[in-house]
Amino acid sequence: MAGVPFIGMGVSGGEEGARHGPAIMGGGPKAAWDRVAPIMQAIAARYEGEPCATWMGPGGAGHFVKTVHNGIEYADMQMISEVYGIMRDGLAMPAAAIGTVFDGWNKGPLRSYLIEISGAVANAVDPETGKPMLDIILDAAGQKGTGRWTAIEAQHLAAPVPVIEAAVAARNVSSRLHARVLGQGTYKAAPQAMPAGAVSVADLEGALIAGKILCYAQGFDMLNAASRTFGWGVPLPEVARVWRAGCIIRSDMLNDMATALTDDPARNLMLAPVFVAHLKTHHTALRKVVASAVLAGHAVPALSAGLAWFDMMRTARGTANMIQAQRDFFGAHGFERTDGRPGKHGPWGAH
């Protein structure tokens, strides 16, 4: 309707948020947001008295921020499920013991809504059978598409989010239950118990800490790329602050992220001093968990993707020079040189 301002409102919090206050990510004309801001802030969740509702930028900025939130949510959930699988199948831990581990982790650096509910889920008992609830839930996860949208848009922006992409792919694979049953029968394979001492619960905690940082670093880098591309001016520190309460990915770690993004919004979070310290401490655990999982046949796509991205991002000279040479060989695309001279074509000759 002509002359009527529209506000795009990203909202996260599920049923609990609907009852007690969600995180609200507004988008559209600033003047329109300002008119409704007092109402939105009144109904939003609060973190230490501060409302988790703010304007993210013009146009579709609010919904975009919410979409990336959901992509991070997919990745966070997938990494938690991978660690759960290692405890269940690799360490032969019963569901209740796994719940106790999650409850313990929720008192430390991983303190978050998703870790909290993972503990509650692992501790729950099916009232019909008396068995652990997790042991009777089908291994086939649904999705509404926001993680997929995040992955697709990340490709358009050339903003790599491999942990989110791996999480989306894992949900798609989970739905192919019949094919997976045939695959296990064909290859006589299943995740194996890990040798004693291969990984510890402390290693799994460290792996999750590192994986979580890397996932969020990718998500915020994507938001930064979108903000530049679309001219939104998304306030990245405010995004982190809005996500501290009400939403599904709320966690204590977002406090440090908000501070780091305030210090330097353009800097990738993996390069912020507080997260450099975490990653230097915990990337070895992530590496140990991924390596042990792969050797024992456990699928850890999201944790693996985070580790691979981390290794690429800390390697000054990678292997894309081979790709440049290949492209020039078959398509005469040219290449850049390390010595600063103009790149023309290689001496490939006729083949």
Q: What secondary structure does DSSP assign to 126-180, as a single string?
A: -TTT-SBGGGGS-S-----SHHHHHHHHHHHHT---HHHHHHHHHHHHHT-HHHH
pLDDT of residue 69: 97
288 is catalytic: no
d(CA 135, CA 171): 18
**What pLDDT is stored for residue 172 in this prediction?**
94
16, 48, 66, 212: the active-site residue: 66
- Residue of 73, 82, 165, 238 with catalytic role: 73
Out of 57-71, 259-273, 332-346, pick the least confident: 332-346
Does residue 287 have a pLDDT over 90?
A: yes
Catalytic: 16? no
pLDDT of residue 249: 95
- Per-residue model confidence (pLDDT) at position 1: 56
Instruction: Give the count of beta carbons closer than 10 Å to the beta carbon of residue 108.
Output: 11
Residue type, 285: A
Query: What's the pLDDT at 157?
Result: 97
Residue-wise pLDDT tens digits, 180-216: 999 999 998 888 999 999 999 999 999 999 999 999 9
Q: How confident is the model at residue 351 (pLDDT cuts 50, 70, 90)?
A: low
Q: Report domain extents, the chain.
A: 61-233+241-313
pTM (predicted TM-score): 0.94
Is pLDDT at 250 greater than 90 in this prediction? Answer: yes
What pLDDT shows up at residue 324?
94
At residue 246, the 3 state secondary structure works out as coil
> Measured between alpha carbons, how far is 333 from 327 in angstroms, rounded to an integer?
6
> 61-233+241-313: which CATH number, 1.20.1080.10, 3.30.360.10, 3.40.920.10, 1.10.1040.10?
1.10.1040.10
277 pLDDT above the threshold of 60: yes
C-alpha to C-alpha distance for 257 and 238, rounded to whole angstroms? 10
Going by pLDDT thresholds of 50, 70 and 90, the confidence category of residue 349 is confident
Per-residue confidence band for 318, with pLDDT thresholds at 50, 70 and 90: very high
